[in-house]
Structure 1
Amino acid sequence: MAMSRAARLAPVVEMAESTERKAAQRLGHFQGQVSLAEAKLAELERFRNDYQQQWISNGSRGVSGQWLLNYQRFLNQLETAVGQQKQSLAWHQNNLNNARATWQQAYARVEGLRKLVQRYILEARQLEDKREQRLLDELSQRLPRHENF
């Protein structure tokens, strides 16, 4: 009886494993998205720092008013891009956190089901062992006893 319970759970375990695999794939996807967003942010910040270094080197030699206006305008655009990329990174990190939580729940469900199936299999083995022992005991009682005097 316990073995049939384990067998009946097999499709449930397979579905749970499939759900867990999909959640793991989704988690991997979002980890990749976070990595890309972090790299893009680092690139924008590096570009902004390089651009600011231009101000330091060119500013010490003197610049025209037009150059300064263009510099400030472009620096503002860079700051906006950095801010937007930070928001994008936060959004991707939030998706990653949600995907991680979903995967952890799916993983815990699979592990719980596997343990339950193992318990059912163990119970079935124990019942079978007891049944075999009863049969052996009955057979040994039926056999004629030879007493040596």
Structure 2
Amino acid sequence: MLKKAGRLAPVVEMAGQAERDAAAKLAKLQVQLQQAEQQLAGLEQYRNDYQQQWITRGQTGVSGEWLMNYQRFLSQLETAIEQQRSSVQWHARNVEKAREQWRQAYARLEGLKKLVQRYHDQARQMADRQEQKAMDEMAARAGHLNRPKPGDIS
């Protein structure tokens, strides 16, 4: 059983490396998602500030040219926000895929570790049984030697 466990050591190591790689990839993608979300929040805040500027400026009166420029820029800003929302969704899907890959790698590693532990436990049980058998044989021999022989007077 220990031989089986020993033969699995390289497989366990490879599974461990795969799990660590999957975890690193997941962490990297989570950072990218956070950055995309921050960019989206920044764009939305900029749009809100720009709209507030419109309200403030509009109270004093604006020219038709200023209004057209405002609407054109606001439209471009809305387009950028929608593109960034799509980017956030794309990053979120990548994070979920990476999370699932990590879960699978982790489950494989844990399964292999449990198998190795089971082999170790079986080897220990086998060694314990052999040791008990040897002790029983020694006790039987010792009991046989300590028995009075026929004709011995006690």
1:62-89 CA distance string (max 9 Å, x none) = 1000100110010001000000000000
Aligned to 2:61: 62
Aligned to 1:16: 15
**Displaced runs of 4 or more, over 6 A:** none
Aligned to 2:90: 91
Tell me, in whole angstroms, the C-alpha distance in 1 between the residues paired with 2:146 and 2:46.
97
CA-based RMSD: 1.1
Aligned to 2:99: 100
Q: CA deviation at 1:60?
A: 1.1
Tell me, in whole angstroms, the C-alpha distance in 2 between the residues paired with 1:74 and 1:5.
69
Q: What is the TM-score normalised by the length of structure 2?
A: 0.93
Q: Given the alignment of the two structures, is residue 111 of structure 1 paired with residue 110 of structure 2, yes or no?
A: yes
Tell me, in whole angstroms, the C-alpha distance in 1 between the residues paired with 2:65 and 2:42.
27
Q: How many residues align?
A: 147
| Amino acid across the alignment from 1:116 | L
Larger radius of gyration: 2
Q: Given the alignment of the two structures, is residue 145 of structure 1 paired with residue 146 of structure 2, yes or no?
A: yes
Q: What is the TM-score normalised by the length of structure 1?
A: 0.96
| Amino acid across the alignment from 2:101 | T
| Amino acid across the alignment from 2:118 | R
Tell me, in whole angstroms, the C-alpha distance in 2 between the residues paired with 1:81 and 1:48.
10
1:11-67 CA distance string (max 9 Å, x none) = 000000000000000000000000000000000000000000011111111100010
Aligned to 1:43: 42
| Amino acid across the alignment from 2:74 | L
Q: CA deviation at 1:122?
A: 0.2
Local SS of the residue matching 1:85: helix
| Unmatched tracts of structure 1, length 5 or more | none
1:118-143 CA distance string (max 9 Å, x none) = 00000000000000000011111111
Q: CA deviation at 1:145?
A: 2.1
| Amino acid across the alignment from 2:126 | L
Following superposition of structure 1 onto structure 2, how do residues 114-125 of structure 1 map, counting pairs within 5 Å?
114-125=113-124
1:90-115 CA distance string (max 9 Å, x none) = 00001000000000000000000000
Local SS of the residue matching 2:146: coil
Tell me, in whole angstroms, the C-alpha distance in 2 between the residues paired with 1:62 and 1:54.
12
| Unmatched tracts of structure 2, length 5 or more | 149-153
